[in-house]
Amino acid sequence: MNGQTFAVCLLLLRDAGLLAVTVYSALRLWRATVPPRAAATASD
Amino acid sequence: MLSSEQSDGPATAAPEARLTPWYRLDRRAAGLRAPLACWLLTRMVLVGLAIAGVSGNTDEVHALYPPWAAELAHGHFPVGDSQWQYPPVAGLVFLAPKALPFLSYATAFALLMLLCDAVVALLLARAAGGPGRSSHGLWLWTLGLPFLIQLSYLRFDLAVTALAVAAVLLLERAPVRSGVLAALGGLIKIWPLLVLIGAPNGRTARRSWSSAAVSGLAVCAVMALAFRHAFSFLSEQGSRGIEIESLPGSLLLAARHFGYHGSIHYLYGSYQVSGAYVHGLAKVALGLTVLGFLWLLWWRLRARNWSAATTADAALTAMLVFVTTSRVISPQYFIWLLGLAAVCLVFRDTSQRRAALALPPLMLLTTLVFRCCGRR
């Protein structure tokens, strides 16, 4: 594997990581702040 | 105004913390001495590298910012310069190093960014006191920023990050001042306005958003009166392509290894990919940004359980969505993300702990690719 291919592999690894962190962050924010639909309906 | 603002939010700081002046960090918590000493040590090395010009004299701070500062000193923004991509207050950041004429521009700029870095560290140290708070945010900021080596002192993102961090930390306690800071940040690089997305519903949200709008308009008017061509940057935005450091850019770089005939050119102040599918991919990225923004608005409508950490958590999530989908983004975006992640870790009940801790390894990968492997 030459240097350029290695650099692109690292770049794709970083992008996959960043994408995973973004999805995880969004899911965590949602779960921490949005009540489950059943609970929200009950409280209404 | 000050007293009414400060009574807005819940009193979260411990009584002894509130009686201690903000600059007496030694009295606030002995646990802050280690991270602050570490900050001092790491920053001496980083600023030394930046001032020594380890990366050469082709960086923006040597080749791009000084001519802009010279133009601004003559009372006008760059015109017809495709590399000038920034809202008007960014001009003041480029102009500021000229206040230290006995230093070279690059040295004065690095020292100015060091000052912004110190402001972020002090804000995080100050916020670390009190129940439900921790110094983990300060540790993350202190140990995370060196992963970008000296890059942080060669770009102006630390100035914007300092404003955004201050805006998030003040949002509940002083929404008007928070809105002003976010607007100032937004007039340097747009994205700090996103930190207001997590303003608690009701009076806090109304006050922060309206103060951001009013102060933003007022500062725009002042800049338009003080400088000619303050909004020349708007004409340079539309034709930007895909930057190689962005996520869509890496897809195209990877595709080149499978026969894709794209070329890399220095355009609009960054390395961009030219070739087939670039415009299509740029439109997809823009569509994803819009979708991400719509998701954030939907989240705001549905969110009910607001904790002390929610403002910071929402700011980090919004920034991640914006960064991941952007087609014109550079490695220094990690400075913004790290600053907001550090604010999240100030709160013990943050929902973003793992997301925040995942950032330094990603910063290391970015530095390896763009600095060490010489992708630029």
Give B77's pLDDT tier (boundaries 50, 70, 90): confident
- Contacts of residue B369, defined as CB under 8 A and 6 or more positions apart, other chains included, come to A7, A10, A11, A14, B375
* Predicted pLDDT of residue B27: 58
**Band (B184; pLDDT cuts 50, 70, 90):** very high
Determine whether the interchain pair A8/B254 forms a contact, defined as Cβ–Cβ distance below 8 Å: yes
Residue B19 has pLDDT above 60, yes or no: no
Residue B374 has pLDDT above 70, yes or no: no
pLDDT band for B170, please (50, 70, 90 cuts): very high
Among B residues 249-278, those touching chain A with beta carbons less than 8 Å apart: 250-251, 253-254, 257
B178-193 mean pLDDT = 94
Band (pLDDT 50/70/90 cuts) for residue B216 is very high
Judge whether residue B232 has pLDDT over 80: no
Burial string for B3-30 (b: 16+ CB within 10 Å, else e) reads eebeebbeebbeeebeebeeeebeebbe
pLDDT at A41: 62
Neighboring chain B residues of A38 at a CB cutoff of 8 Å: none
Averaged pLDDT, B54-67 = 78
Residue B13: pLDDT above 60?
no
| pLDDT one-digit tens code per residue, B112-141 | 999 999 999 999 999 998 889 999 999 999
Residue of B323, B352, B375 lying closest to A7 (CB–CB): B375
Q: Choose among B142, B137, B128, B120: nearest CA to B29.
A: B128
Per-residue buried b or exposed e for B211-240, using 16+ beta carbons within 10 Å of the residue's own CB: bbeebbeebbeebeeebebbebbeebeeeb
pLDDT surpassing 50 at residue A5: yes
What whole-number distance in Å separates Cα of residue A10 and Cα of residue A12? Answer: 5
> Average pLDDT, stretch B19-25?
58
Asked whether the ipTM of the predicted complex exceeds the cut of 0.95, the reply is: no
Those of residues 20-49 in B touching chain A at CB distance below 8 A are: none
Structure tokens at B208: 């922060």
Residues of A in Cβ contact (< 8 Å) with B358: 17, 20-21
Write down the pLDDT at residue B293: 94
Q: Which is nearest to B124 in space by CA: B134, B132, B114?
A: B134
Tokens representing B160 are: 């914007």
Average pLDDT over residues B217-238: 82
pLDDT category of residue B59 using cuts at 50, 70 and 90: confident
Closest chain B residue to A43 measured between Cα atoms? B304
User: Looking at beta carbons, which residues of chain A come within 8 Å of B369?
Assistant: 7, 10-11, 14
pLDDT recorded at residue B245: 78
Average pLDDT over residues B300-328: 93
Please state the rounded mean pLDDT for residues B341-347: 97
B1 pLDDT exceeds 50?
no
> Residue B34 and residue B25: Cα distance in Å, rounded?
12
Cross-chain residue pair A18–B323, CB shorter than 8 Å: yes
Please tell me which of A23-32, B144-153, B326-335 the model is most confident about, judged by mean pLDDT: A23-32
pLDDT score of B263: 79
For range B155-159, the mean pLDDT? 94
User: What average pLDDT does the segment B216-229 reach?
Assistant: 91
At A27, the pLDDT band (50, 70, 90 cuts) reads very high
Cβ B341 vs Cβ B359: under 8 Å: yes
Q: Which A positions 1-44 lie with beta carbon below 8 A of chain B?
A: 3-8, 10-15, 17-22, 24-26, 28-35, 40
pTM score of the predicted model: 0.88
Q: With bands split at pLDDT 50, 70 and 90, how would you rate the model's confidence at B197?
A: very high
* Residues B76, B227 contacting (CB under 8 angstroms): yes
Of residues B5 and B341, more confidence is placed in B341
Q: How far is A36 from chain B (nearest CA, A)?
A: 10
* Mean model confidence pLDDT for chain B: 86
Strand partners, B267: B270
**Could you say which DSSP state residue B200 is in?**
P
If one compares B63 and B210, the residue with the highest pLDDT of the two is: B210
Closest among B127, B155, B153, B154 to B139, alpha carbons compared: B127
Mean pLDDT, residues B227-236: 76
Report whether pLDDT(A21) > 70.
Answer: yes
Residue B375 has pLDDT above 80, yes or no: no
Is A26 close to B295, i.e. CB distance below 8 A? Answer: yes
Q: Among partner residues B253, B295, B358, which is closest to A17 by beta-carbon distance?
A: B358
